[in-house]
Structure 1
Amino acid sequence: MPDAIVTYPALAARLLTLPPSCGPARLVAVDGPSGAGKSTFTDHLAAVLVGAPIIRSDDFSVPWDADPLTWWRPLEMAVLDPLRDGRPAVLRRYDWHHDRYGPQERIPPAPVAIVEGVGAAWAGSPAAYRIWIDAPRDLRRARALDRDGPEYAEAWDAWSTRESTHFTEDGTRARCDLRVDGTTFTQHRFRTPT
């Protein structure tokens, strides 16, 4: 059976029909291993979900040698708890290049909020919809080292092992509502393996 081709507007329409899962918001979790294409996919999806805030694991300080869920408690306190109460969240996004947090940013409750990063769709997430993005390990590693620099090769390899252990123990991939091929999506559509 051939893979299915889906457009971002079609996915956005589906998401807007879901019941809210975090206060008034339908929380969409975009998860998968490092370098799979989560950030790019999330940007394309958010472009059609006008006004949908994106909160990324990279917005928090997560050392290379940390547990993949290190960012979850700070996410809950800064973003999810206020949104759950229907209040705006206040987030200071971490700047990895300068090793510091940026200015406070107000995140108002919205019909859809996207949480993206390793661990976004874990069992404890209040996600209304979970998306798994994956690509072959060699491609993911090349993307990550192109993004972060070749000096992070050893750290990325160790991180890859930790995230793989997390995904296996949590059963993340099996829990996801949608699987996306991270090798071929474009700005307008993506492929879901069948």
Structure 2
Amino acid sequence: MLATEPRLGPVRLVAVDGPSGAGKSWFAGRLAKVADIPVVHTDDLLDGWDDQFTFWARLEEQVLEPLRHGRTATYLRYLWHLERFGGSPVTVEPAAAVLIEGVSSARRTIRPELSFSVFVTAPADLRWRRALARDGRDDVAFRAYLERWRAAEDEHFAAEGTAAHVDLVVDGAAEGPGDRYEAV
């Protein structure tokens, strides 16, 4: 990854994409720790539940554009429990590499500027269980929302052909000694 050429100005932008519950955040966290690079989670830039794919202009303006020009990026996280942006500003320096993690992070519009991209996948039933456990809800309304979210993801990934355009597909369900991920 660090041997690739920078394509987002001076930055090697690395995307970790895949459906909800596949293990993107866990994988991105491990990768960032090993490589000592910052991570931007797209969920932090969503303006609530209905901003699943329309957040990109915010990411572009607050994160990608500054990094593209070698400047520090600054943004506020979405505070899900308060349903608004706030808290302390997050800063991302134009490091040798920056990781962007989340659904649609390897979308077609950014592919020319990605130095490396990963698609994390896992079986649908495992992803469902993980999403329910992660969000701490298992009521009828949340299940209906999650079904809509996942249907939109499926449609997005099919239209974008994401898994066919990444550098590495990772099995987010693999378990074993050491890392629990395997390239597929």
TM-score with structure 1 length normalisation? Answer: 0.86
1:133 aligned onto 2:120: yes
Q: Quote the Cα distance in structure 2 between the aligned partners of 1:37 and 1:84.
A: 28
Instruction: Give the total of aligned pairs.
Output: 177
Structure 1 runs of 4+ aligned residues shifted over 4 Å read 185-188
Between 1 and 2, higher relative CO (CA 8 Å, sep ≥ 6) is seen in 1
Q: Quote the Cα distance in structure 2 between the aligned partners of 1:36 and 1:90.
A: 28
Q: For residues 32-75 of structure 1, what are the alpha-carbon distances to aligned partners after superposition, in whole Å with 9 as ceiling and x for unaligned? A: 0000000000000011111x111111111344344x32121100
Contact 2:63 2:73 in 1 (8 A): yes
1:191 aligned onto 2:143: no
- Structure 2: segments with no counterpart, 5+ residues: none
Q: Quote the Cα distance in structure 2 between the aligned partners of 1:137 and 1:53.
A: 29
Q: Quote the Cα distance in structure 2 between the aligned partners of 1:25 and 1:98.
A: 33
Q: For residues 103-154 of structure 1, what are the alpha-carbon distances to aligned partners after superposition, in whole Å with 9 as ceiling and x for unaligned? A: 2122111011000111000111121111000101011011001111113211
Q: Quote the Cα distance in structure 2 between the aligned partners of 1:188 and 1:112.
A: 24
Partner SS, residue 157 of structure 1: helix
Q: Quote the Cα distance in structure 2 between the aligned partners of 1:88 and 1:57.
A: 17
Equivalent AA in structure 2 for residue 79 of structure 1: V
Tell me which of 94, 105, 112 is aligned to 1:120. 105
Distance apart, 1:188 and its partner CA: 4.4
Percent identity reads: 41
Contact 1:27 1:115 in 2 (8 A): yes
Distance apart, 1:156 and its partner CA: 0.6
Tell me which of 59, 78, 85 is aligned to 1:75. 59
Contact 1:65 1:155 in 2 (8 A): no
Q: Quote the Cα distance in structure 1 between the aligned partners of 2:167 and 2:32.
A: 18
Equivalent AA in structure 2 for residue 109 of structure 1: P
Contact 1:29 1:121 in 2 (8 A): yes
Greater mean deviation of Cα atoms: 179-188 or 21-30: 179-188
Partner SS, residue 16 of structure 1: coil
Q: Quote the Cα distance in structure 2 between the aligned partners of 1:192 and 1:130.
A: 13
Q: Which residue of 2 aligns with 1:5?
A: none
Tell me which of 155, 165, 169 is aligned to 1:175. 165
Partner SS, residue 114 of structure 2: coil
Equivalent AA in structure 2 for residue 136 of structure 1: P
- Structure 1: segments with no counterpart, 5+ residues: 1-14
Q: Which residue of 2 aligns with 1:150?
A: 138
